[in-house]
DNA sequence: CTGCGGTCTCGTACGCTGTAAGTTCCTCGT
DNA sequence: ACGAGGAACTTACAGCGTACGAGACCGCAG
């Protein structure tokens, strides 16, 4: 009786509706790229997919799991080095690729600190970093140390970079920094002086400088380690 | 009538109640150090301070602002270099101090990516990094590049480190990594081999290695830049 | 003594969140 | 024809940040 209240019992239900883990992850990535992690909510995501909130939970166990899937998806965009590249060009290429990922997906760099990166793509990336170094004759330990050092630099730099960009971009210096400069001019003159230096705001150049430093340092020590 | 319902109109109200911005920040730091940023909520924080949730908002405009205060508080624990230290020992000391802060306050390293670090203590730290380098004769640009490079490495490394520690600590390798090893043994042998290497799990040693690399690289290039 | 404006604390309420539990429907193999 | 199970939905709950407004308390002016 009640259930035949009118016509079809429920106007909206069980149609196929393209929901799938991949579709959800894809849409989630769009939201993340556009609005960042704070703004991602299961409910809004479901709405954008034309589904009810709880429908997502059939394909994904939890929100954190979904985020880990998204993080790993970004690792999947990593550019693997060519199989014949020598040690240094392989490393340089990988590190540029890493930075590129960070700039494309700021939420990703910010998030790698809060989640474990042990998805298949993350592991594949890590593995691929070893290949050229071992091929060049480094010991496992030396390769691990080198990789850890270089990618630590790149990740740290990328975090600072996306932070700086999201604060105001390339308008060297961004508007809100002007007030800060006034605030601290007397107490911390070096800092304020630095804010005024034009050349410093070349993020590209700074990255290259740092990468060169790190690679040089490693080259020098890696000989000792063989 | 109503207001004199019994005895004193309200059993709990307007007493002094040690609430203050400093007290709130102090307690918030305790919670953060113990449980991380995800677990910090204004309501629970208020409860721990014996106050009503909204009482905090007299002293602090918003939760994000409170977090920024806490972040800056950590910058305040930074060890300034001795005024007579030479370039290299000053930098080494500062970078060890930075790493120490990160290990003591994991939520802090994870959070610096999501908030602006322009509080007084953060600026003071940044400023103090320039001092020994300028004193050694570096140009502003060279000093900025060097500082950016070194501290990028330290922050990136520290993030990896707190991640690794929170995943299972020093039990080289942590338990859940055993399963991962099995999962990926065939597809990514280098990665799995790395997990098995004992010596890699010396985080202290890896940090020192990386720091040496970066400093060496900088020393070599800084001559060119003067 | 009365009134008043500042400082601080609190109660209520709104809109939002992640998700546990249970329900309904569709499709398919038998 | 019918049961099984995959997929989507509904309802509900506990928790969150915080806007708004109502007091409570204090010291000071009249």
Confidence of residue B195 (pLDDT cuts 50, 70, 90): confident
> For residues B87 and B81, what is the distance between their CA atoms, to the nearest angstrom?
10
Q: Give pLDDT, residue A143.
A: 94
Residue A13 or residue B8, greater confidence: A13
Q: What is the pLDDT of residue A1?
A: 31
CA angle (A188, B216, B143) in 5-degree steps: 20
Cα angle A133, A153, B196; round to 5: 45
| Residues with Cβ within 8 Å of residue B139, at least 6 apart in sequence | B225, B226
**% of chain B exceeding 70 in pLDDT:** 86
**C strand bases under 7 Å from protein CB:** 8-13, 16-22, 24-27
Confidence of residue A199 (pLDDT cuts 50, 70, 90): low
Which pTM was predicted? Answer: 0.91
Q: Is the pLDDT of residue B224 over 90?
A: no
pLDDT for B175 equals 60
Q: How far is the CA of A65 from the C1' of C18 (A)?
A: 12
Helical H segments across B2-86, by residue range:
21-35, 42-48, 63-75
Confidence of residue B197 (pLDDT cuts 50, 70, 90): confident
Q: Does A66 score more than 70 pLDDT?
A: yes
Alpha helices in A76-202 (DSSP H): 87-104, 106-111, 120-135, 140-168, 175-184, 189-196
Q: List, as own/partner pairs, every contact residues A77-82 make where C-beta atoms lie below 8 angstroms and the sequence separation is at least 24, other chains included.
A: A77/A101, A77/A104, A78/A121, A78/A124, A78/A125, A78/A128, A80/A128, A81/A128, A81/A131, A81/A132
pLDDT band of residue A209 (cuts 50, 70, 90) is very high
State the Cα–Cα distance between residues A108 and A33, nearest whole angstrom: 9
Query: How many percent of chain A have pLDDT more than 70?
Result: 86
Interface list for B 153-212 with A (CB within 8 A): 153-157, 159-160, 162-163, 167, 180, 184, 187-191, 193-194, 197, 199-200, 206, 209-210, 212
Q: pLDDT digits over B203-219, tens only?
A: 899 999 999 999 999 99
Calculate the CA A37 to chain-centre distance: 12
pLDDT confidence band for A174 (50 / 70 / 90): low
pLDDT bin (cut points 50, 70, 90) of residue B45 is very high
User: Hey, is the C-beta of A148 within 8 angstroms of any chain B C-beta?
Assistant: yes
What's the gap in Å between the CA of A14 and the closest CA on chain B? 35
Task: Read off the pLDDT band of B178 (50, 70, 90).
Answer: confident
Note the CA–C1' distance, B131 to D19, in angstroms. 46
Nucleotide nearest B57, from its CA to each C1': D18
CA distances from B31 to A201, B27, B44, B210 (A): 37, 6, 10, 32
Residue B6 sits at the vertex; the CA angle it makes with B4 and B7, to the nearest 5 degrees, is 95
pLDDT tens digits along A140-159: 999 999 999 999 999 999 99
Contact present, B163 and B155 (Cβ < 8 Å) = no
Could you tell me if A126 and B126 are in contact, meaning their C-beta atoms sit under 8 angstroms apart? no
The position carrying tokens 């670090």 is B117
B153-168 pLDDT, tens digit per residue, is 999 999 999 998 887 7
CB atoms within 10 A of CB B206: 21
Task: Give contacts of A210 with chain B, Cβ < 8 Å.
Answer: 145, 148-149, 152
Q: Say whether pLDDT at A201 is over 90.
A: no
Distance from CA of A146 to the nearest CA of B (A): 8
Contacts of A131 in chain B (CB under 8 A): 190
The answer to whether B109 touches B162, Cβ cutoff 8 Å, is yes
Half-sphere exposure of A7 (CA within 13 A, CB side): 4
Tokens of A214: 């790190």
CA B27 to C1' D21 (Å) is 28
* Confidence tier at B222 by pLDDT (50, 70, 90): confident
The helix (run of H) or strand (run of E) holding residue B131 is: helix B120-135
First to last CA, chain A: 82
**pLDDT tens digits for range B51-81:** 999 999 999 999 999 999 999 999 999 999 9
pLDDT at A12 over 50: no
Q: Could you give the percent of chain B with pLDDT greater than 90?
A: 72
* Vertex A125 angle, CA A101 and B199, to 5°: 120
Distance B132 CA to D16 C1' (A): 46
The interface residues of chain B toward chain A in range 63-122, judged by CB-CB distance below 8 A, are 109-110, 112-114, 116-118, 120
Average pLDDT of the residues of chain B: 88
- Over its C-alpha atoms, chain A yields an Rg (Å, rounded) of 23
**Using the CB atom, is residue B59 less than 7 Å from strand C?**
yes
A188 token code pair: 């911390």
Tell me, yes or no, if B57 comes closer than 8 A to chain A by beta carbon.
no
Residue partners of B74: CB distance under 8 A and separation at least 6: B29, B101, B105, B108, B121
* Contacts with B210 from chain A: Cβ below 8 Å: 145, 148-149, 152
pLDDT in tens, B116-140: 888 999 999 999 999 999 999 999 9
The pLDDT assigned to B91 comes to 97
- B124 to A214: CB separation less than 8 angstroms, yes or no: no
CA distance B141 to B150: 14
Mean pLDDT calculated for residue range A63-87: 95
Token readout for A31 is 């939201």
Instruction: Give, as one character, the DSSP assignment of residue A201.
Output: G
CB A59 within 8 A of CB A19: yes
| Cα separation, B203 vs B199, whole angstroms | 9
Q: Is the per-residue pLDDT at B44 higher than 50?
A: yes
Strand C contacted by B116 CB (< 7 A): no
> In this structure, are residues A166 and A160 in contact, taking their beta carbons and an 8 Å threshold?
no
pLDDT of A202 over the 80 cut: yes
Q: Are A102 and A144 in contact (CB under 8 A)?
A: no
Least confident range of A4-8, B72-76, B83-87: A4-8
Write down the pLDDT at residue A177. Answer: 73
Mean pLDDT for chain A overall:
88
**A179 falls in which pLDDT band (50, 70, 90)?**
confident
- Calculate how close chain A gets to B103, using CA atoms only, in Å: 13
């Amino acid at each position: 009786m009640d259930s035949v209240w009118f016509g079809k019992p429920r106007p909206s239900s069980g149609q196929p509706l393209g929901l799938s883990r991949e579709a959800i992850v894809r849409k989630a990535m769009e939201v993340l790229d556009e609005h960042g992690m704070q703004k991602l909510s299961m409910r809004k995501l479901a709405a954008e997919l034309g589904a009810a909130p709880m429908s997502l939970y059939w394909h994904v166990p939890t929100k954190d799991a979904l985020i880990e899937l998204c993080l790993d998806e970004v690792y999947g965009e990593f550019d693997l080095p060519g199989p014949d590249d020598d040690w240094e060009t392989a490393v340089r290429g990988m590190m540029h690729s890493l930075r590129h990922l960070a700039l494309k997906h700021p939420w990703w760099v910010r998030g790698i600190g809060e989640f474990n990166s042990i998805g298949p793509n993350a592991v594949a990336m890590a593995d691929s970093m070893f290949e050229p170094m071992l091929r060049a004759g480094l010991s496992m330990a030396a390769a691990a140390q080198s990789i850890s050092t270089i990618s630590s630099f790149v990740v740290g730099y990328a975090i600072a970079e996306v932070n700086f960009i999201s604060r105001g971009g390339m308008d060297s210096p961004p508007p809100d920094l002007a007030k800060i400069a006034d605030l601290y001019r007397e107490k911390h003159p070096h800092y304020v002086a630095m804010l005024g230096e034009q050349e410093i705001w070349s993020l590209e150049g700074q990255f290259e400088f740092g990468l060169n430093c790190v690679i040089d340092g490693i080259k020098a020590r890696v000989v000792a380690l063989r």
